[in-house]
Amino acid sequence: MTATVEINNVTKRFGEVDAVRDVSFALPEGETIALIGHNGAGKTTLLKLMLGLIRPSSGSIRVLGEDPAAGEFAARRRLGYLPENVSFNSALTGRETLAFYARLKREGNGAPAPLLERVGLSHAADRRVGTYSKGMRQRLGLAQALLGAPRILLLDEPTTGLDPALRQSFYEIIEELREQGATVLLSSHALTELEERAGRVVIMNQGAKVADGNLDELRRIARLPTRIRLKVAASGIADVESRLVPLGDWRRVNGHMLEIVAASDQKIELLRQATAEGGHIEDVDVAPPTLDELYAHFLRSQEVPR
């Protein structure tokens, strides 16, 4: 797998503020990467650096083998970008807007119509963008990012303003492109949503990269406990409790539900114990740490030494 984006020791200063501090990573083909972090963590700055809209104060960036700020445009033709809060000139129609962007990417006149169809905007294609709702503007934004069969998609908060059905079809489109070998970088706050979609997660905090890896790796590094819920027949609850006491933190949720917080290496042992010599357990629900919890963990652990 070749890297489409390479970022090496990049720092970007705005006056006194370090917006991005010594960040390095490479993004391979055919992968969806989630870039997460608070507002002001440096996500948008990183995206702008990759687009060549701003230059790094130090370090180097390669996008499809080119320096994006050098004024070479071959790479940009194969790159789709959806800015945060995308906006368009309100006087033109959706079709005209998309046709304008298609011309800049040297796509034929035939390019806009299928894309509008794909994002579900065909019915509104000849209405002025000024009359569009937030979700429709977002869809038009996605359509322009998809122009020219991009090899890299940089999407900044792409699902804000989209209703659940649209989010679904949005992720389907993304997944399709990823399967064709595109690199998809999603910057987002909607962590639960990204959990199932992103093969890899990069967590940013105050301009620095604090974690990078797929969810399982991050879980292993974080060593966050897994939450196990046991539904127990009312008669057996005392028995189950007595057996579990030495194994970890637990609490009684209600008369027939226990919640155990198990360290990752004790998880299997605990389950075995809990369900051994049968009878009392009616149901088991295992919840590994969510991306939300991982994110909170990495932010906390990063803040300790400062």
Partner 1 sequence: MRNILIVAGKEIQEGLRNRWVLATTLLLAALALTLTFLGSAPTGNVGVRALDVVIVSLSSLTIFLVPLIALLISHDAIVGEMERGTMVLLLSYPVARWQVLLGKFAGHLAILAFATLVGYGAAAGALAATGTAIDPQSWTAFASMVGSSILLGAAFVAVGYCVSALVRDRGTAAGIAIGIWLMFVLIYDMALLGLLVVDQGRTVSGAVLSALLVLNPTDAYRLFNLTGSGNVSAFSGMAGIAQASHLTPLVLLAALAAWALVPLTFAAVAFSRREL
Using CB under 8 A, list all residues that contact partner 1: 14, 48, 51, 53-54, 71, 73-74, 76-77, 79, 81, 83, 85-89, 91-92, 96, 100-101, 103-106, 128, 141, 144
Q: Which is nearer to partner 1, 25 or 73 (CB)?
A: 73
Distance CA 80, CA 256 (A): 52
Beta partners for residue 201, in sequence order: 34, 213
Closest approach, Cβ 74 to partner 1, in A, equals: 8
Q: Which is nearer to partner 1, 125 or 224 (CB)?
A: 125
Best CA proximity match to 161, nearest among 145, 139, 144: 139
Closest approach, Cβ 69 to partner 1, in A, equals: 11
Closest approach, Cβ 195 to partner 1, in A, equals: 28
Distance CA 152, CA 150 (A): 5
Closest approach, Cβ 71 to partner 1, in A, equals: 6
Q: Which is nearer to partner 1, 88 or 171 (CB)?
A: 88
Q: Which is nearer to partner 1, 68 or 289 (CB)?
A: 68
Exposure string (b/e) for 143-152, b if CB count within 10 Å is 16 or more? bbbbbbebbb
Closest approach, Cβ 120 to partner 1, in A, equals: 21
Q: Tokens 């391979």 map to which residue?
A: 28
Q: Tokens 């990573």 map to which residue?
A: 25
Burial tier of 165 (Cβ tally within 10 Å: 0-12, 13-18, 19+):
exposed
User: If you compute the radius of gyration of the chain from its CA atoms, what whole number of angstroms results?
Assistant: 24
Q: Which is nearer to partner 1, 73 or 231 (CB)?
A: 73
Distance CA 161, CA 123 (A): 19
Q: Which is nearer to partner 1, 95 or 280 (CB)?
A: 95
Best CA proximity match to 5, nearest among 206, 105, 205, 154: 154
Closest approach, Cβ 108 to partner 1, in A, equals: 14
